[in-house]
Structure 1
Amino acid sequence: MNDILSNKELVLSIIVLIIAFVTHRIVIWSAAKISKKVERSALRKQYLNRYVGYIIWTLATITIVFVWGISRDGFWVALGSTFAVVGVALFANWSILSNVTASFILYFTFPFKIGDRVRIHDKDLPVTAIIEDIKGFYTFLRTAEGEVITYPNNLLLQKGVSILRGRKESIFDIDKDEETDPTAR
């Protein structure tokens, strides 16, 4: 009887691994199609694949733990304790989670991309720069002076951003007392 159970568990584990593998491949294929369509860099596609892969394989591991019948009560206590510690750490530094989430949002929806010249409207630290790379947590910006600025992704969603496309400065930077037509710049 034990041999039959272990064979069943082995078959179910293999099925879970195959489903996880196929799902991960579908995500990679979809990300490649979307990246090509919206002109995203291969590096950003790689980040998306990695983060989604972490989620898929973690879920597959948890499913296999349940298939093999490891004590569910003990498992939930251990998982709950782990999430409690991680939750406290993320609450202490909530920007980690918000930056990763913002990275996904920027990847799929936001209008600027690597190579665009942008103006970030921040009253404390206004920035005009070219986007060099958009990573999982930060966006790398290069100013006209050659300075590289790492700007948190969640702030790109919170602040106003102008895409300059050949303009020297944003219309919001033009002094209201000037006599010139702001669209002429």
Structure 2
Amino acid sequence: MKEVLSIYQTEILTTLLAIGALTITRYLSIKAIKKVGRLSDLNDIRTRLIIKYVAIGHGLLMISALLLIWGLNFREVGLVLSSVFAVIGVALFASWSILSNITAGVILFFSLPFKIGDRIRILDKELEGNNEFLIEDIRAYHVHLRNSNAELVTYPNNLFLQKAVTVLKPEVADTFEGDSQ
């Protein structure tokens, strides 16, 4: 056992340091996200979703760090990795829309242009009729909007970054409610 410890002493210490550092950064990141969510009065479900993304990112970073520390020979694994990345690349290209919606959801979380319960107007020619909505829920891929006819509309997150969205003042929102009666 002593021989193994003396041979791999550097790798073991570096592994412990990497695990410690990534655990601390994960904890601090999650704490910061919770604080942003609390200060911005964001939905708890939305905050947990962003925390899940950060946890997955830290997990992938941990795996990468451990592979580098323990000296994975990339020449031997290169063929396997290139094949895996080719398959993943095709799959990601096919689901680019999903990834762009997830990315837009993360951007919307941190930029805080609007929150659940806000009344908004979307300047989109493809939307029929009145383009004023109540935000009911903000999810990973889309936002649930309720129009003046009480119809539920799901609107992709990436379109919120591409289209002009206006948050209505409370007095404008009150007249919006009066129109639906």
TM-score bucket of the superposed structures, by smaller chain: 0.7 to 0.9
Out of 102, 105, 113, which is 1:111 matched to?
Answer: 113
Amino acid at match of 1:148: L
In the TM superposition, what are the counterparts of 1:12-51 in structure 2 within 5 Å?
12-51=14-53
Amino acid at match of 1:36: R
Amino acid at match of 1:26: L
- In structure 2, the gaps of 5 or more residues are 177-181
Out of 123, 136, 140, which is 2:140 matched to?
Answer: 136
Amino acid at match of 1:83: F
Amino acid at match of 2:82: G
| SS of residue matched to 1:141 | strand
- In structure 1, the gaps of 5 or more residues are 170-185
| Count, aligned residues | 169
Length-normalised TM-score, structure 2: 0.82
Displacement of 1:41 in angstroms is 2.0
Amino acid at match of 1:117: R
In the TM superposition, what are the counterparts of 1:1-185 in structure 2 within 5 Å?
1-126=3-128, 127-166=131-170, 167=172, 168=175
Displacement of 1:7 in angstroms is 4.2
Task: Tell me which protein shows more helix as a share of its residues.
Answer: 2
Is contact 1:66–1:72 with CA below 8 Å preserved after alignment?
no
Amino acid at match of 1:161: V
Is contact 2:40–2:112 with CA below 8 Å preserved after alignment?
no
Amino acid at match of 1:163: V
* Percent pairwise identity: 37
Amino acid at match of 1:66: L
CA deviation string 1:136-162 (max 9, x = no partner): 111111233333222110011111112
| SS of residue matched to 2:109 | helix
Displacement of 1:46 in angstroms is 0.9
| SS of residue matched to 2:127 | coil
CA distance in 2, matches of 1:132, 1:75: 48
